[in-house]
Structure 1
Amino acid sequence: MRYASRNLWSGLLFGLGVVAFLDETLFHQLLNWHHFYDKSTTSIGLISDGLFHAFSWFATIGGLFMFADLRRRNAWRLKRWWSGVLVGAGAFQLYDGTIQHKLMRIHQIRYVDHVIIYDIIWNGLALMVLAAGLLMLKQTNREASYDS
Protein backbone atom coordinates (compact mmCIF):
# COMPACT_ATOMS: atom_id res chain seq x y z
CA MET A 1 0.00 0.00 0.00
CA ARG A 2 1.80 3.09 -1.29
CA TYR A 3 -0.04 5.60 0.90
CA ALA A 4 -0.17 3.54 4.12
CA SER A 5 2.01 5.92 6.13
CA ARG A 6 0.17 9.00 4.88
CA ASN A 7 -3.17 7.45 5.93
CA LEU A 8 -1.66 6.72 9.33
CA TRP A 9 -0.20 10.24 9.77
CA SER A 10 -3.43 11.89 8.68
CA GLY A 11 -5.32 9.87 11.28
CA LEU A 12 -2.70 10.49 13.98
CA LEU A 13 -2.83 14.25 13.53
CA PHE A 14 -6.60 14.28 13.36
CA GLY A 15 -7.02 12.06 16.45
CA LEU A 16 -4.50 14.03 18.48
CA GLY A 17 -6.07 17.33 17.42
CA VAL A 18 -9.64 16.30 18.13
CA VAL A 19 -8.87 14.91 21.59
CA ALA A 20 -6.81 17.99 22.47
CA PHE A 21 -9.68 20.17 21.21
CA LEU A 22 -12.22 18.26 23.31
CA ASP A 23 -9.95 18.44 26.37
CA GLU A 24 -9.54 22.20 25.94
CA THR A 25 -13.22 22.84 25.24
CA LEU A 26 -14.74 20.58 27.89
CA PHE A 27 -12.30 20.60 30.80
CA HIS A 28 -10.69 24.03 30.36
CA GLN A 29 -13.58 26.17 29.13
CA LEU A 30 -16.96 24.59 29.86
CA LEU A 31 -16.25 22.78 33.13
CA ASN A 32 -13.43 25.17 34.13
CA TRP A 33 -11.57 22.35 35.92
CA HIS A 34 -8.11 23.59 35.01
CA HIS A 35 -6.01 25.53 32.52
CA PHE A 36 -3.25 24.14 30.37
CA TYR A 37 -0.75 25.81 32.73
CA ASP A 38 -1.98 26.25 36.30
CA LYS A 39 1.26 27.29 38.03
CA SER A 40 0.76 31.04 37.48
CA THR A 41 -2.00 33.63 37.26
CA THR A 42 -5.40 33.12 35.66
CA SER A 43 -4.30 35.38 32.79
CA ILE A 44 -1.31 33.16 32.04
CA GLY A 45 -3.62 30.12 32.30
CA LEU A 46 -5.94 31.64 29.71
CA ILE A 47 -3.04 32.47 27.38
CA SER A 48 -1.74 28.92 27.70
CA ASP A 49 -5.24 27.62 26.91
CA GLY A 50 -5.33 29.76 23.77
CA LEU A 51 -1.97 28.43 22.59
CA PHE A 52 -3.04 24.87 23.36
CA HIS A 53 -6.29 25.44 21.46
CA ALA A 54 -4.37 26.77 18.45
CA PHE A 55 -2.06 23.73 18.53
CA SER A 56 -5.03 21.36 18.56
CA TRP A 57 -6.59 23.11 15.58
CA PHE A 58 -3.33 23.11 13.60
CA ALA A 59 -3.02 19.35 14.16
CA THR A 60 -6.67 18.77 13.22
CA ILE A 61 -6.52 20.91 10.09
CA GLY A 62 -3.18 19.37 9.05
CA GLY A 63 -4.72 15.91 9.36
CA LEU A 64 -7.74 17.01 7.34
CA PHE A 65 -5.59 18.45 4.55
CA MET A 66 -3.78 15.12 4.33
CA PHE A 67 -7.14 13.35 4.40
CA ALA A 68 -8.44 15.49 1.50
CA ASP A 69 -5.30 14.73 -0.51
CA LEU A 70 -5.72 11.00 0.12
CA ARG A 71 -9.35 11.19 -0.99
CA ARG A 72 -8.40 13.13 -4.11
CA ARG A 73 -5.84 10.45 -5.01
CA ASN A 74 -8.33 7.67 -4.19
CA ALA A 75 -5.77 6.41 -1.67
CA TRP A 76 -7.75 6.82 1.58
CA ARG A 77 -8.04 3.60 3.56
CA LEU A 78 -10.73 3.74 6.23
CA LYS A 79 -9.34 1.16 8.66
CA ARG A 80 -5.75 2.42 8.39
CA TRP A 81 -6.91 6.01 8.93
CA TRP A 82 -9.06 5.08 11.94
CA SER A 83 -6.16 3.17 13.47
CA GLY A 84 -4.20 6.42 13.30
CA VAL A 85 -7.08 8.41 14.82
CA LEU A 86 -7.30 6.02 17.78
CA VAL A 87 -3.53 5.83 18.30
CA GLY A 88 -3.23 9.64 18.11
CA ALA A 89 -6.14 10.20 20.49
CA GLY A 90 -5.07 7.55 23.00
CA ALA A 91 -1.39 8.55 22.93
CA PHE A 92 -2.21 12.22 23.48
CA GLN A 93 -4.56 11.46 26.36
CA LEU A 94 -2.04 9.10 27.99
CA TYR A 95 0.76 11.67 27.56
CA ASP A 96 -1.48 14.36 29.07
CA GLY A 97 -2.51 12.16 32.00
CA THR A 98 0.96 10.87 32.85
CA ILE A 99 3.54 13.45 31.74
CA GLN A 100 1.63 16.72 32.11
CA HIS A 101 -0.54 15.77 35.09
CA LYS A 102 1.85 13.66 37.16
CA LEU A 103 5.44 14.17 36.04
CA MET A 104 5.46 17.87 35.11
CA ARG A 105 2.49 18.75 37.36
CA ILE A 106 1.49 21.68 35.14
CA HIS A 107 -2.15 20.93 35.89
CA GLN A 108 -4.40 18.21 37.28
CA ILE A 109 -7.58 16.85 35.72
CA ARG A 110 -9.57 18.37 38.53
CA TYR A 111 -8.55 19.84 41.85
CA VAL A 112 -10.34 17.59 44.32
CA ASP A 113 -9.35 15.42 47.28
CA HIS A 114 -9.64 12.10 45.43
CA VAL A 115 -7.93 12.99 42.15
CA ILE A 116 -6.77 9.35 41.81
CA ILE A 117 -10.28 8.39 40.67
CA TYR A 118 -10.06 10.92 37.83
CA ASP A 119 -6.54 9.74 37.01
CA ILE A 120 -7.60 6.10 36.78
CA ILE A 121 -10.55 6.89 34.52
CA TRP A 122 -8.55 9.32 32.33
CA ASN A 123 -5.54 7.06 31.88
CA GLY A 124 -7.64 3.89 31.69
CA LEU A 125 -9.67 5.32 28.82
CA ALA A 126 -6.46 6.47 27.14
CA LEU A 127 -4.99 2.97 27.37
CA MET A 128 -8.15 1.38 25.95
CA VAL A 129 -8.29 3.79 23.00
CA LEU A 130 -4.56 3.39 22.37
CA ALA A 131 -4.78 -0.42 22.56
CA ALA A 132 -7.72 -0.49 20.13
CA GLY A 133 -5.77 1.72 17.72
CA LEU A 134 -2.61 -0.38 17.97
CA LEU A 135 -4.59 -3.58 17.40
CA MET A 136 -6.25 -2.07 14.33
CA LEU A 137 -2.85 -0.79 13.15
CA LYS A 138 -1.37 -4.28 13.45
CA GLN A 139 -4.25 -5.63 11.35
CA THR A 140 -3.75 -2.99 8.67
CA ASN A 141 -0.01 -3.69 8.62
CA ARG A 142 -0.79 -7.35 7.88
CA GLU A 143 -3.31 -6.37 5.20
CA ALA A 144 -0.82 -3.98 3.59
CA SER A 145 1.81 -6.73 3.42
CA TYR A 146 -0.68 -9.04 1.63
CA ASP A 147 -1.44 -6.28 -0.91
CA SER A 148 2.23 -5.90 -1.84
Structure 2
Amino acid sequence: MATEKGNKKNNSAYINSSKYRKRVIWSGFLFGVGLAAFIDETIFHQLLRWHHFYDKSTTDIGLISDGLFHAFSWFATIGGLFIFADIRRRNAMCHKRWWGGIFLGTGGFQLYDGTIQHKLMRIHQIRYVENVFVYDLIWNILAVFMIIIGLIFVASRRSGQHFRKAAAHDHE
Protein backbone atom coordinates (compact mmCIF):
# COMPACT_ATOMS: atom_id res chain seq x y z
CA MET A 1 0.00 0.00 0.00
CA ALA A 2 2.82 2.41 0.88
CA THR A 3 4.46 1.65 -2.45
CA GLU A 4 1.19 2.33 -4.21
CA LYS A 5 0.90 5.72 -2.51
CA GLY A 6 4.53 6.47 -3.36
CA ASN A 7 3.85 5.68 -7.02
CA LYS A 8 0.75 7.85 -7.00
CA LYS A 9 2.76 10.70 -5.54
CA ASN A 10 5.49 10.25 -8.16
CA ASN A 11 2.91 10.01 -10.96
CA SER A 12 1.20 13.12 -9.64
CA ALA A 13 4.50 15.02 -9.67
CA TYR A 14 5.15 13.84 -13.23
CA ILE A 15 1.68 14.88 -14.45
CA ASN A 16 1.94 18.24 -12.73
CA SER A 17 5.46 18.86 -14.03
CA SER A 18 4.17 18.26 -17.55
CA LYS A 19 1.25 20.62 -16.89
CA TYR A 20 3.52 23.32 -15.49
CA ARG A 21 6.05 22.89 -18.27
CA LYS A 22 3.31 23.73 -20.78
CA ARG A 23 2.02 26.60 -18.66
CA VAL A 24 5.50 28.15 -18.44
CA ILE A 25 5.76 28.06 -22.24
CA TRP A 26 2.21 29.41 -22.70
CA SER A 27 2.91 32.22 -20.25
CA GLY A 28 6.01 33.24 -22.19
CA PHE A 29 4.23 32.78 -25.53
CA LEU A 30 1.33 35.07 -24.59
CA PHE A 31 3.72 37.62 -23.12
CA GLY A 32 5.82 37.43 -26.33
CA VAL A 33 2.78 37.93 -28.57
CA GLY A 34 1.71 40.91 -26.48
CA LEU A 35 5.22 42.34 -26.47
CA ALA A 36 5.63 42.00 -30.26
CA ALA A 37 2.21 43.52 -30.89
CA PHE A 38 2.96 46.38 -28.48
CA ILE A 39 6.32 47.13 -30.13
CA ASP A 40 4.80 46.88 -33.63
CA GLU A 41 1.93 49.16 -32.73
CA THR A 42 4.07 51.69 -30.87
CA ILE A 43 6.99 51.93 -33.28
CA PHE A 44 5.52 51.24 -36.73
CA HIS A 45 1.97 52.52 -36.23
CA GLN A 46 2.43 55.49 -33.92
CA LEU A 47 6.02 56.77 -33.99
CA LEU A 48 7.07 56.05 -37.59
CA ARG A 49 3.48 56.11 -38.95
CA TRP A 50 4.36 53.55 -41.62
CA HIS A 51 0.95 51.89 -41.50
CA HIS A 52 -2.17 51.18 -39.46
CA PHE A 53 -3.46 47.76 -38.49
CA TYR A 54 -6.13 48.11 -41.19
CA ASP A 55 -5.13 50.33 -44.11
CA LYS A 56 -7.92 49.56 -46.58
CA SER A 57 -10.21 52.36 -45.39
CA THR A 58 -10.07 55.88 -43.95
CA THR A 59 -7.49 57.14 -41.49
CA ASP A 60 -10.18 57.15 -38.77
CA ILE A 61 -10.87 53.45 -39.32
CA GLY A 62 -7.10 52.84 -39.31
CA LEU A 63 -6.81 54.56 -35.93
CA ILE A 64 -9.74 52.58 -34.51
CA SER A 65 -8.14 49.35 -35.75
CA ASP A 66 -4.88 50.41 -34.08
CA GLY A 67 -6.74 50.93 -30.80
CA LEU A 68 -8.30 47.47 -30.97
CA PHE A 69 -4.93 45.99 -31.88
CA HIS A 70 -3.35 47.78 -28.91
CA ALA A 71 -6.05 46.40 -26.58
CA PHE A 72 -5.39 42.89 -27.93
CA SER A 73 -1.67 43.26 -27.19
CA TRP A 74 -2.39 44.23 -23.59
CA PHE A 75 -4.85 41.35 -23.07
CA ALA A 76 -2.21 38.89 -24.31
CA THR A 77 0.47 40.49 -22.11
CA ILE A 78 -1.71 40.51 -18.99
CA GLY A 79 -2.88 36.93 -19.62
CA GLY A 80 0.73 35.79 -19.88
CA LEU A 81 1.62 37.62 -16.67
CA PHE A 82 -1.31 36.07 -14.75
CA ILE A 83 -0.08 32.61 -15.72
CA PHE A 84 3.48 33.69 -14.83
CA ALA A 85 2.35 34.78 -11.34
CA ASP A 86 0.60 31.45 -10.76
CA ILE A 87 3.67 29.49 -11.85
CA ARG A 88 5.91 31.57 -9.58
CA ARG A 89 3.51 31.08 -6.66
CA ARG A 90 3.70 27.32 -7.14
CA ASN A 91 7.51 27.47 -7.34
CA ALA A 92 7.40 25.79 -10.75
CA MET A 93 9.17 28.46 -12.80
CA CYS A 94 11.79 27.63 -15.40
CA HIS A 95 13.21 30.86 -16.78
CA LYS A 96 14.82 29.24 -19.80
CA ARG A 97 11.50 27.75 -20.96
CA TRP A 98 9.73 31.04 -20.23
CA TRP A 99 12.22 32.96 -22.38
CA GLY A 100 11.80 30.27 -25.03
CA GLY A 101 8.05 30.91 -24.94
CA ILE A 102 8.65 34.66 -25.28
CA PHE A 103 10.82 34.13 -28.37
CA LEU A 104 8.25 31.71 -29.84
CA GLY A 105 5.41 34.17 -29.21
CA THR A 106 7.30 37.17 -30.55
CA GLY A 107 8.62 35.35 -33.61
CA GLY A 108 5.31 33.58 -34.23
CA PHE A 109 3.40 36.84 -34.10
CA GLN A 110 5.88 38.55 -36.40
CA LEU A 111 5.87 35.68 -38.93
CA TYR A 112 2.04 35.57 -38.88
CA ASP A 113 1.93 39.36 -39.35
CA GLY A 114 4.50 39.32 -42.16
CA THR A 115 3.01 36.44 -44.12
CA ILE A 116 -0.74 36.29 -43.39
CA GLN A 117 -1.62 39.93 -42.71
CA HIS A 118 0.89 41.58 -45.06
CA LYS A 119 0.84 39.20 -48.02
CA LEU A 120 -2.20 36.93 -47.88
CA MET A 121 -4.87 39.24 -46.43
CA ARG A 122 -3.13 42.46 -47.55
CA ILE A 123 -4.67 44.48 -44.71
CA HIS A 124 -1.46 46.50 -44.46
CA GLN A 125 2.19 46.47 -45.51
CA ILE A 126 5.23 47.07 -43.33
CA ARG A 127 5.91 50.25 -45.24
CA TYR A 128 4.46 51.73 -48.41
CA VAL A 129 7.53 52.08 -50.59
CA GLU A 130 8.50 50.94 -54.12
CA ASN A 131 10.66 48.01 -52.94
CA VAL A 132 8.79 46.57 -49.97
CA PHE A 133 10.48 43.19 -50.59
CA VAL A 134 13.55 44.22 -48.55
CA TYR A 135 11.36 45.16 -45.56
CA ASP A 136 9.38 41.91 -45.85
CA LEU A 137 12.54 39.84 -46.09
CA ILE A 138 14.14 41.40 -43.00
CA TRP A 139 10.84 41.21 -41.06
CA ASN A 140 10.31 37.52 -41.79
CA ILE A 141 13.97 36.47 -41.37
CA LEU A 142 14.00 38.08 -37.91
CA ALA A 143 10.76 36.24 -37.09
CA VAL A 144 12.21 32.85 -38.11
CA PHE A 145 15.40 33.63 -36.16
CA MET A 146 13.35 34.34 -32.99
CA ILE A 147 11.34 31.13 -33.45
CA ILE A 148 14.56 29.10 -33.75
CA ILE A 149 15.95 30.69 -30.57
CA GLY A 150 12.66 29.91 -28.79
CA LEU A 151 12.73 26.28 -29.92
CA ILE A 152 16.31 25.91 -28.72
CA PHE A 153 15.40 27.30 -25.29
CA VAL A 154 12.27 25.17 -24.97
CA ALA A 155 13.94 21.95 -26.14
CA SER A 156 16.96 22.37 -23.88
CA ARG A 157 17.46 19.28 -21.70
CA ARG A 158 18.87 21.31 -18.86
CA SER A 159 15.74 23.44 -18.55
CA GLY A 160 13.56 20.30 -18.38
CA GLN A 161 15.64 18.80 -15.57
CA HIS A 162 15.54 22.03 -13.58
CA PHE A 163 11.79 22.21 -14.06
CA ARG A 164 11.07 18.66 -12.86
CA LYS A 165 12.90 19.35 -9.62
CA ALA A 166 10.88 22.53 -9.03
CA ALA A 167 7.54 20.84 -9.81
CA ALA A 168 8.37 17.84 -7.58
CA HIS A 169 9.23 20.25 -4.76
CA ASP A 170 5.74 21.78 -5.07
CA HIS A 171 4.12 18.46 -4.04
CA GLU A 172 6.26 17.54 -1.02
TM range (shorter): over 0.9
2:87 paired residue among 49, 57, 70 = 70
> Could you give the per-residue CA deviations for residues 5-39 of structure 1, whole angstroms, max 9, x where no partner exists?
11011000000000000000000000000000000
Whichever residue aligns with residue 37 of structure 2, its letter is A
Q: SS state of the match for residue 74, structure 1? A: coil
| Equivalent residue, structure 2, for 1:34 | 51
Q: Residues 44, 140 of structure 1: CA spacing in aligned structure 2 closer, same or farther, 3 A cutoff?
A: farther
Q: Is the 8 A contact 1:79 1:140 kept in 2?
A: no
**Unpaired runs of at least 5, structure 2:** 1-16, 166-172
Rounded to whole Å, the distance in 2 between the matches of 1:105 and 1:40 is: 12
Q: Match of 1:126, as an amino acid? A: A
Q: Is 2:116 aligned against 1:99?
A: yes
Residue 28 of structure 2 corresponds to residue 11 of structure 1: yes
Helix, strand or coil for the counterpart of 1:131?
helix
**Matched AA of 1:66:** I
1:73 Cα offset (Å): 1.2
**CA distance in structure 1 between the partners assigned to 2:152 and 2:131 by the alignment:** 33
1:86 aligns with 2:103: yes
Look at both structures and tell me which one has the larger radius of gyration over its CA atoms.
Answer: 2
Cα distance in 2, alignment partners of residues 141 and 62 from structure 1: 27
Residue 114 of structure 1: aligned partner: 131
Per-residue Cα deviation, 1:57-102 (whole angstroms, up to 9, x for no partner): 0000110111111111111110111111000100000000000000
Deviation at 1:147, TM superposition (A): 4.2
| SS of residue matched to 1:111 | coil
Q: Give the ranges of 4+ consecutive aligned residues of structure 1 lying more than 6 Å apart after TM superposition.
A: none
Asked whether the 8 Å contact 2:96–2:159 carries over to 1, the reply is no
Query: In the alignment, what sits opposite 2:149?
Result: 132
Mapped contact 1:80–1:140 kept (Cα < 8 A) = no
Whether the 8 Å contact between 1:7 and 1:81 is mirrored in structure 2 is yes
* Identity rate, percent: 66
* 1:101-133 Cα deviation digits (max 9, x unpaired): 000000000000110010011001001001110
Amino acid aligned to 1:17: G
Residue 54 in 1 paired to residue 43 in 2?
A: no
2:110 and 2:96 map into 1 onto residues whose CA distance is: 21
